Structure 1
Amino acid sequence: MSDKFVVIDLETTGNLPKKGDKIIQFGAVVIENGIITDRYSSLINPQKSIPAFIEELTGINDEMVKNAPLFAEISEKVMSMLDGAYFVAHNVLFDLSFLQEELIQAGFEGFYGSVLDTVEMARILFPTADGYKLTDLAEKENLQHDRPHQADSDAQVTAELFLILLKRLSSLPLITLKQLTQLSGGLKSDLQQMLDEITTNKNMDAEEFLNSIEMYRNLALKKRTPLGENDEAYKIDFLYPSTDKEKIGVVKQGLEFFEKRTGQFRMMDTVYQAFHNKNHTLIEAGTGVGKSLGYLLPAAWFSKQSKVPIVVSTHTIQLQEQLLKKEIPLLEKILPFKINSVLLKGRNHYLSLEKFSQTLMDENDNYDTILTKMQILVWLTETETGDKDELNLSSGGFIYWNKIKNEAPIFSQKEEWKEKDFYLKAKRDAKAADIIITNHSLLLSDIKGEGSILPAFEYVIIDEGHHLEKVASQFFGHSLDYLSARLMIGQFGLYEQKQLFYEMEGLLSAIPRQKAKLPHTFELNQMVIDLTYEMDEFFKLIAIYAKAKLTNKKGFNRIKVRFTHFDSEKERNALVHSAERAAFLLKDLHSAIMDRLESIKGAKGTLSAAEKNKLEELYLFGQELAELRNTVMKCFLKESKEVKWIEMDTRSPQNITTFLAQPAFVADQLREKFFQVKKAVVITSATLTVNHSFSYIMKELGLNGDVTVQQSIPSPFEYKNQVQLFIPEDLPAINSVTLDEYVIAITEHIITIAEATKGRMLLLFTAYDMLKKTYELIKESGFLNDYVLIAQGITSGSRTRLTRNFQRYDKAILLGTSSFWEGVDIPGEDLSCLIIVRLPFSSPEEPLTEAKCQLISEQGGNAFSEYSLPEAILRFKQGFGRLIRTEKDRGIMIVFDRRIVTTKYGKAFLKSIPSIPVKNGTINELVELIHSWL
């Protein structure tokens, strides 16, 4: 194997060498026999000016390259370095295309040796990484990366990363390496060549199966740590530590540094009593109480003493991960006995090893599928759960995942796969667990009892409990979106899926046909074509209907339009007729597939594993068709009391269109199906009360105030010394001016405040359109050019990534909407100023809000005080909670919406947050105060 690798990075004037873009900096690092032996870098004179955004990105300007060599002057050195070496780069095709162009112009033939791409290698070898940008990977591997977008620095970091990737490759079991080699012919780089050489050199006998790997049916899997046995005879002699002194004694056994928090101890007792006395309980626990340990410790104690499992449900994956990786290990250190805990998700989250093994060496795979198979092979040597959320899959990877996800088997599943089945393991572990962590949706699926993955349970803790009502509305409702419907039906228009119909035909031909003739394959294919056409027409009509009802949303891209029975327009009738046709076609295709499968299933004769697998795919397709038909019927063709609406993006009428139907209130269903059947449910969150009362949340969830224990535990933080609230007097009232005028006014204030606070600002908006206009105006003004502006929905990346980027820069401003009002944790100096642009009332035109308000009014209630106001206050409290995350944090909160002081109801917002100093004034007066406070 060539032991020489040259890692190259280029900075360029743009992306298109064929259109005249040129190299402005060249960086190379030479690796020989696993050691860096040489480095070379040079600025290059591109003989054209460097665009402003490239200068901003790289820090390289025209002056710096004026006296630099032309590429032709260093081309000979570059060619001699590359002689006999692998060309390695992070996104190799980009660097190679530039280098070829420049080398040919310098009179060389170009480089035609082997190339390796560290992006591709990282995706395969780090299948669970958050991201594959060089900066992300450098952070993951703790590599110093001081000057991103400088060729010498990037080449050095890429070289260090490449050595780590090589080491990871060499550590893989031989069987995995061989499987990777077989697949790697379809990659963009020459990884196959290198894998071949590594595999040849890896002596089979010398391979020691480390304690961590086991071989199973030709797959190398990580050995699983067995869950501790739940010893039935095991009796806890320890009494629950009821006094503070006893609790401190217990906690100090496991933790050296422990700071007593009275609120946390109070919470422990409340949770323990709830289970002991079989009471439903609401606990509002302010930031800093130590909520997770506050409920986990008494839950573990009660579970062990009573030999019952406790289910802990959260809304976000982040909190589930935090409980499993941080809080439970902490709990295990503290407790004087052993506990078993497990994280449970829905069945489709788990990999089916049997399906993966059967599809592993399929031919004619596309690039995404090959890459995903390689990722999974590596992942199997490191995962204990087989849970897809661990993987970083491409969109093409998700399509392949749908073929190999775990589902109830109809034809296949051999006994021998059951032993290692990830889903069955999760179920087994749950049966033996004391604490089962899950999410609100899965918790509710237990209500339907449709083969729930959760074992029987009576005691529950619901964290992030303010989300339960919303999740329940979605759970009891239906949604129909164009993309997933089109993708599901469309996959059977693909070549390989059409083949499935022909293979089924082949199997049927071996069976004496029933008298009732089944349709021929070409008829099945025609049915798929007809159905695809009808679904397209159906969604076009949904879009036409939504636009026809749209009156006052000029300039808004994302819209929500309510669908009601009062509309007598022809669009509504056309839509219902189209739904009927779609439902009819769905039923026909479903019946045709199921009849055939029944014939095959009922016939004697043995099917091969591959044939069973194909039939399984068809069976699941049939089930999905039935589900889709059921949703179409429920949404359009059956009378129901649900609130129905359309959400769409007007720029792309069809693709981003969803039809939703949800109950306006879920209190009755939750009361009957959940609270009345469980012995004790503890609901906790930092935001459950409105104006110190739990009545709003109890009404929403269907809890009886007379028998529900209510406990409010304030935050231990000294808010009055840590936060000041400022309200500018010189902004227009929000409803007295147009959106554009309001945006101009607040943008001026934002610029002034940013300069006073030096960034470190989080701006919370209630509507995306206002956020976008504000972001554009700040950019256009040029006043904050040396600040990093990060905006949700504009800057790419998940909420977590945007938050991480915000923390990375000193002068940063983060603009967020709905999901940023909560769950974003930015402790310390990273956030010193929070601006709430307007009080977070839901728009009265929001379909669900409109329907709830209508129902309350019809029943003689006051929709504003019973629903709109409390909902806005809870969200406001969530926003406030972003600012102070630790006892050392200090910060200012600014509310632009003057209604907080000019209206009667504004006081309710202020009363619902901790008591803090409130100051009114002009922007200039407030800036003075900001300076003295910060």
Structure 2
Amino acid sequence: MSQKFVVVDLETTGNSPKKGDRIIQFGAVIIEDGKITGRFSSLVNPLQEIPAFIEELTGISESMVKNAPLFEEIAPQVSDMLEDAYFVAHNVLFDLSFLQEELLNAGVEGFYGPVIDTVEMARILYPSADSYKLTDLASREELDHDRPHQADSDAQVTAELLLIMLDAVKALPLVTVKELAKLSEGLKSDLHLIFDDVLNMKESSLEDLPDHIEVYRGIALKKRPETQRALHSVINYPESVEEKKAMLQKAFSGYEIRHGQFEMMDSVHSAFMKNGHALIEAGTGVGKSLGYLIPAAIFSLESHNPVVVSTYTTQLQEQLLNNDVPKLAKVLGSKINASLIKGRNNYISMARFEHSLREVEENYDTALTKMQILVWLTQTETGDFDELNLSSGGMLFWSKVKNEPALFLKTKHWESYDFYQRAVEEAQQADILITNHAMLLADLVSEKGPLPNYEYAILDEGHQFEKAAGKYFGKSLDYLAVRLVLNQLGLYDQNQLFYKLERLLRNDLRDSRLHTFEVSQLISDLVYETEELFKLAGTYARKTVKNKTYGSKIHASIVPDRDNRVWTALKTTAERFYFDLKDLIVALEERLDEAGKSNHPYTGVQQSILEEVVQVKEDLEAIRDTARTLFMDGSDYVKWIEADLRSLQNSTTIFSRPVYVSDYLAQQFFMKKRSVVVTSATLSVNNSFSFIKKELGLENTLIEQQIPSPFSYESQIKLIVPEDLPDIKSVSHDDYVAAITEHIISIAEATKGRMLILFTSHEMLKKTYELIKESGLLEEFILIAQGITAGSRTRLTRNFKRFDKAILFGTSSFWEGVDIPGEDLSCLIIVRLPFTPPDEPITAAKCSIIKESGGSPFSELSLPEAVLRFKQGFGRLIRTSNDRGLIFIFDRRLVTTSYGKAFLHSVPDVPVEKGNITEIVDMIDDWL
């Protein structure tokens, strides 16, 4: 690989050269014969102002570039350097488009040689990376990146990364490089030249495969590690504090005694030994995971009973398996048989993937995803989709290769490489089996679920179990999902799946009940009815909430009413939609039957087509069943429509959920298991567990325990309620937003950022974010807002940690599960007490049931729910014993109402301070 690479990075005044943005710094590193042979860097005078945000990001000020050369002065040197070279950059189109514009303006010829995008390359070679930002890839490869967002430093790190990635390509097995070379033709940068080079090099010599790789049917895979089932001598449970202390100190040098953790261990062990259920609320810092894993493992080994540990989030599942189980093995002094199992669709089907490789690929996202998966197969031991970082187009491809039973595809030859079956086998052998709430619920319902028979379980994040059950037993139908399935099928003249099916079966369709064109008409009718159904659903929702004063998101409960014209039209359309679906499913079933009876063998591509039809038929059956539940069942489910007024039809979803799942959970789960331990940091309200017990249907508990956090909240937290904010009910929505915006700006300036603001409504979040931006008063802060800034919750949190002056705006999912320890978060603002809106359909239905039985919806439902969420939000700030921080509650009801006490009594005891904004700023200065 003797090519010359010039790795470039630019800092600029903005994102668009066409709109007049200019370069302020140019950095380049030259690589020849696999080594860095030269560097060039220069500040550039852009002859225009540098925006404050860019100065904050790059550290480059106007005074620094005042005497720097103009770009035309360095253009000839840049042009010479690029001659006969690959142009390399991290996100190459950005740097190249800027450079081309500047080179041409300087009267120098542009660059027209091959380009390499290190982002695209990293996506392929690091398919499991959390992020493809340069700083994240640098820390992954342990490269020094001391000055991010400075062109010379960024170019240096990109060059070092490129060299590592070139070596990574050379280290891949020949069969993998062969497939990558084939697929790389359709990429955005010229990576095919690299893959072709390595392929030629590999084909000219004999290959020694590494020990951990094997090749099967032309695909390189990581060998399955020999799993030796760990054999244990029985470990006695450490009864005394001294024994527990000795056990943990042996495993962790410098282990700090946590009495709360010891209490939790005793309670879990006792619940299992006495076959009773337990509710254990463990505050932040107790060491909850080991608090239940140690007694669970000892009990499992002692009694030969597996213990299932279920979580709400996959994040916590991974953390338990990868961080906590190894710690557990240290404590026990021996390996523990622990395994993790997810739903079948989470695992890849190798037979389906092999078939997909034979199809000629023209779609960019699909080609890239196939390349990512080829590399990933040389690394993965689990075949679990959650390890991959795929684009949304990649997710679509995954649905074609996920693990499903196959009717037409020959999968027998891949049986010993079936990742899902492996996971099931490991689950059957496990002492500790980690899963999630959704999987646990699916297993309860199915005859032969993947979980082994178990009598003992721990529900971590237990406050979410009721919500998970509601979701699991509920149904929903959304416009885009239905259209996606119908578009996949397509009309006959659209040359999609239906066309392919008819071409494949043209000799076998003689006896079919429906002719090709009749089925095509049926698909066309169904597309029409889908449009009508969701149009009417949107109209119904809009009319039901016609007095909605604020925001574009609406949800409207469905109340069957024969006198309501829109409802009647909606129900009639739903019936036509349902019967058209039924007819289409029958027509597809007939065709699949014909295919099954056919005498001539199908090619691999034909098998894939038939499998896709099976999948579409199953998707249509699921849609049909949901439509029946939503519109034809008079069941005691709550039904409602959610939509966004800005794009009514595309955003419309119709839901149905059971009001209460407590009876089901009581009979099918808690009564059938010997001992279930429910744990979380938030289970009690006002020091009582009665609310969560009612929600879960948990009547007979052996243990109910609150273990407080070991942190000294009094010295670590200051809780402040501003007195000069209006009561939200007494002013208009816009006035309230304006008032809180002023307070946020003052507090941010005083605390210097590192602030998380929790909202209860996305509309208010958006308005506040926009007002702060418009004000221009926090220009030096990075503002990151959920639903506005692109990226997942994890990504937004990571970006927040990266900047010193950052403000993170979050709604629902940010109230819990976001972990930002230490200096990264020093200020939390809770804008409103988190009451669920009374018109939220499930809440409204629960309230009316409570009212009918003579109860108080507020004290029995709204208040306890809000208190639990408040506790979750409160818990975001202090994550370690060294954290310090300020909490502002903008909702004065905390101190002006009698029920405010329920919130304060449910969180650690900290004094509440009050004051106007001037006094508050003084308090902040004193505190900091």
**Which residue matches 1:89?**
89
Pairing 1:89-108 to 2, within 5 Å after superposition: 89-108=89-108
* Cα displacement string for residues 461-481 of structure 1 (whole angstroms, at most 9, x for unaligned residues): 100000011111111111111
Partner-residue secondary structure (3-state), 1:777: helix
**Which residue matches 1:580?**
575
Instruction: Report the CA distance shift for 1:48/1:745 in structure 2 as closer, same or farther (over 3 A).
Output: closer
Please, which moves more after superposition, 911-920 or 286-295? 911-920
**Which residue matches 1:134?**
134
- AA at the equivalent of 2:124: I
**Does the aligned pair in 2 maintain the 1:297–1:331 contact within 8 Å?**
yes
**Which residue matches 1:219?**
219
Which of 314, 319, 334 is the matching residue for 1:317?
A: 314
> Structure 1: how far apart are the matches of 2:477 and 2:708?
42
**Which residue matches 1:927?**
921
Partner-residue secondary structure (3-state), 2:113: coil
> Structure 2: how far apart are the matches of 1:87 and 1:147?
22
**Which residue matches 1:386?**
383
> Structure 2: how far apart are the matches of 1:239 and 1:446?
32
Pairing 1:479-518 to 2, within 5 Å after superposition: 479-493=476-490, 498=495, 500-511=497-508, 513-514=510-511, 517-518=512-513
**Which residue matches 1:303?**
300
- AA at the equivalent of 1:227: T
Deviation at 1:795, TM superposition (A): 2.3
**Which residue matches 1:473?**
470
Normalised by the length of structure 2, the TM-score is 0.96
Instruction: Report the CA distance shift for 1:102/1:289 in structure 2 as closer, same or farther (over 3 A).
Output: closer
Q: Does residue 896 of structure 2 align to residue 902 of structure 1?
A: yes
> Structure 2: how far apart are the matches of 1:778 and 1:604?
70
**Which residue matches 2:290?**
293
**Does the aligned pair in 1 maintain the 2:359–2:605 contact within 8 Å?**
no
**Which residue matches 1:662?**
657
**Which residue matches 1:184?**
184
Q: Does residue 883 of structure 2 align to residue 878 of structure 1?
A: no
Q: Does residue 29 of structure 2 align to residue 3 of structure 1?
A: no
Q: Does residue 442 of structure 2 align to residue 448 of structure 1?
A: no
* Cα displacement string for residues 175-233 of structure 1 (whole angstroms, at most 9, x for unaligned residues): 111111111111122211221111222366553222221111111111222333266xx
Instruction: Report the CA distance shift for 1:932/1:589 in structure 2 as closer, same or farther (over 3 A).
Output: same
Q: Does residue 207 of structure 2 align to residue 207 of structure 1?
A: yes
- AA at the equivalent of 2:219: L
> Structure 1: how far apart are the matches of 2:921 and 2:55?
33
> Structure 2: how far apart are the matches of 1:349 and 1:88?
35
**Structure 1 unaligned spans of 5+:** none
Partner-residue secondary structure (3-state), 1:419: helix
**Which residue matches 1:770?**
764
> Structure 1: how far apart are the matches of 2:16 and 2:793?
31
**Which residue matches 1:42?**
42
Instruction: Report the CA distance shift for 1:126/1:707 in structure 2 as closer, same or farther (over 3 A).
Output: closer
Deviation at 1:395, TM superposition (A): 1.2
> Structure 2: how far apart are the matches of 1:419 and 1:180?
25
Normalised by the length of structure 1, the TM-score is 0.95
Pairing 1:220-619 to 2, within 5 Å after superposition: 220-229=220-229, 236-449=233-446, 451-493=448-490, 498=495, 500-511=497-508, 513-514=510-511, 517-566=512-561, 568-619=563-614
**Which residue matches 1:25?**
25
**Which residue matches 1:814?**
808
**Does the aligned pair in 2 maintain the 1:751–1:778 contact within 8 Å?**
yes
Deviation at 1:442, TM superposition (A): 0.6
Pairing 1:661-810 to 2, within 5 Å after superposition: 661-704=656-699, 706-810=700-804
Deviation at 1:239, TM superposition (A): 2.0
> Structure 2: how far apart are the matches of 1:479 and 1:787?
40
- AA at the equivalent of 1:93: L
Instruction: Report the CA distance shift for 1:112/1:786 in structure 2 as closer, same or farther (over 3 A).
Output: closer
Partner-residue secondary structure (3-state), 1:631: helix
> Structure 1: how far apart are the matches of 2:825 and 2:360?
52
Instruction: Report the CA distance shift for 1:49/1:890 in structure 2 as closer, same or farther (over 3 A).
Output: closer
Instruction: Report the CA distance shift for 1:928/1:63 in structure 2 as closer, same or farther (over 3 A).
Output: closer
Deviation at 1:52, TM superposition (A): 6.3
* Cα displacement string for residues 514-542 of structure 1 (whole angstroms, at most 9, x for unaligned residues): 4xx34233433333232222212211111
**Does the aligned pair in 1 maintain the 2:282–2:708 contact within 8 Å?**
yes
Instruction: Report the CA distance shift for 1:685/1:497 in structure 2 as closer, same or farther (over 3 A).
Output: farther
> Structure 1: how far apart are the matches of 2:418 and 2:721?
58
Deviation at 1:419, TM superposition (A): 0.2
Deviation at 1:111, TM superposition (A): 2.6
Deviation at 1:95, TM superposition (A): 2.7
> Structure 1: how far apart are the matches of 2:885 and 2:372?
44
Partner-residue secondary structure (3-state), 1:428: helix
> Structure 1: how far apart are the matches of 2:717 and 2:734?
31
Please, which moves more after superposition, 451-460 or 295-304? 451-460
Q: What is the count of residue pairs matched by the alignment? A: 928
Report the identity percentage: 59
* Cα displacement string for residues 25-83 of structure 1 (whole angstroms, at most 9, x for unaligned residues): 33211001121111112334556666666556555566655554444433332232122
**Does the aligned pair in 1 maintain the 2:670–2:698 contact within 8 Å?**
yes
* Cα displacement string for residues 73-130 of structure 1 (whole angstroms, at most 9, x for unaligned residues): 3333223212222111122233333333444455555333221111110111111112
**Does the aligned pair in 1 maintain the 2:90–2:119 contact within 8 Å?**
yes
Partner-residue secondary structure (3-state), 2:554: strand
> Structure 1: how far apart are the matches of 2:17 and 2:621?
52
Please, which moves more after superposition, 46-55 or 452-461? 46-55
- AA at the equivalent of 2:89: A
Partner-residue secondary structure (3-state), 1:735: helix
Instruction: Report the CA distance shift for 1:85/1:678 in structure 2 as closer, same or farther (over 3 A).
Output: same
- AA at the equivalent of 1:747: T
Instruction: Report the CA distance shift for 1:749/1:52 in structure 2 as closer, same or farther (over 3 A).
Output: closer
**Which residue matches 1:124?**
124
**Does the aligned pair in 2 maintain the 1:501–1:521 contact within 8 Å?**
no
**Structure 2 unaligned spans of 5+:** none
> Structure 2: how far apart are the matches of 1:772 and 1:197?
50
- AA at the equivalent of 1:332: A
**Does the aligned pair in 1 maintain the 2:212–2:223 contact within 8 Å?**
yes
* Cα displacement string for residues 385-412 of structure 1 (whole angstroms, at most 9, x for unaligned residues): 1111111111111111111111012222
Q: Does residue 630 of structure 2 align to residue 632 of structure 1?
A: no
CA-based RMSD: 2.3
- AA at the equivalent of 2:642: E
**Does the aligned pair in 2 maintain the 1:518–1:596 contact within 8 Å?**
no
> Structure 2: how far apart are the matches of 1:316 and 1:3?
47
* Cα displacement string for residues 552-593 of structure 1 (whole angstroms, at most 9, x for unaligned residues): 323402222211124732111111111111111111111111
**Which residue matches 2:112?**
112
> Structure 2: how far apart are the matches of 1:495 and 1:382?
42
**Does the aligned pair in 2 maintain the 1:341–1:433 contact within 8 Å?**
yes
> Structure 2: how far apart are the matches of 1:238 and 1:708?
25
Partner-residue secondary structure (3-state), 1:201: helix
Q: Does residue 863 of structure 2 align to residue 862 of structure 1?
A: no
